Amino acid sequence: MSAPIELTGPVFVDTSVLVLSEDGADVARRTRAMLWLRALWQQRLGRTSSQVLNEFYRSVTTRITPAMPNGDARAEVRRYQRWTPWSTDHATVESAWSLESRFALPYADALIVAAAKAQGCEVLLSLALPHGQLYDSVLIVDPLRALPAGVSPADSPLDTPLDTASPPVLAP
């Protein structure tokens, strides 16, 4: 387990983490993702992009078993709209191309990092990118290998309700 991550600014969440939060195949891994998401909702620090939400919708409705009903998936996408998802623009594409060239990243991953940078995120939660890797000013954190500061692995968001300012957590 890595040292706890201080939440001093916005945190970008990629598709893999959002999908894991809805996938009941591995409860322990899902709980870890939920601990992060709960902290981000409570501190209003969560960020994402339209690209991530599109991939999330496709993944939860077609790639997990059982698949999430389309209406439920749409509700989740609408909930994450509160994070004001970044829309890819020309500057984001240029930044992604630069990241792709300098770090040999696949273009889709470079777009994720570029969107995180554009939103001022110094932390990007991802299961797909290498934990601890720094891409310019963006540190990749695997939510299964580190927790937000002040959060214990024993804190289970699946057992405790969120405060009223946070969206509800779906039961497993």
Q: Do β-strands 134-135 and 123-125 pair in parallel, antiparallel, or remain unpaired? A: unpaired
Domain assignment present for residue 158? The answer is no
| 131 is a domain residue | yes
**Separation between Cα atoms, residue 150 and residue 78, nearest integer Å:** 28
pLDDT digits (tens, 9 = 90+) for 42-54: 999 999 999 999 9
State the pTM of this model: 0.88
pLDDT tens column, 69-113: 999 999 999 999 999 999 999 999 999 999 999 999 999 999 999
Furthest-apart CA pair in the chain: how many Å?
Answer: 44
Q: How many helices (H) and strands (E) does the chain have?
A: 6, 5
Segment holding 92, helix H or strand E: helix 90-103
* In-domain check, residue 87: yes
- How high is the mean pLDDT of the chain? 90
* pLDDT mean over 128-142: 97
Residue 85 lies in a domain: yes
Q: Which domain holds residue 36?
A: 11-141
Residue 36 lies in a domain: yes
Number of domains comprising the chain: 1
32 is a domain residue = yes
Tokens of 90: 């020309």
CATH number at residue 116: 3.40.50.1010
In a domain, 154, yes or no: no
Q: Name every residue whose Cβ is closer than 8 Å to that of residue 69 and which is 6 or more positions away in sequence.
A: 61
Does residue 6 fall inside a structural domain? Answer: no
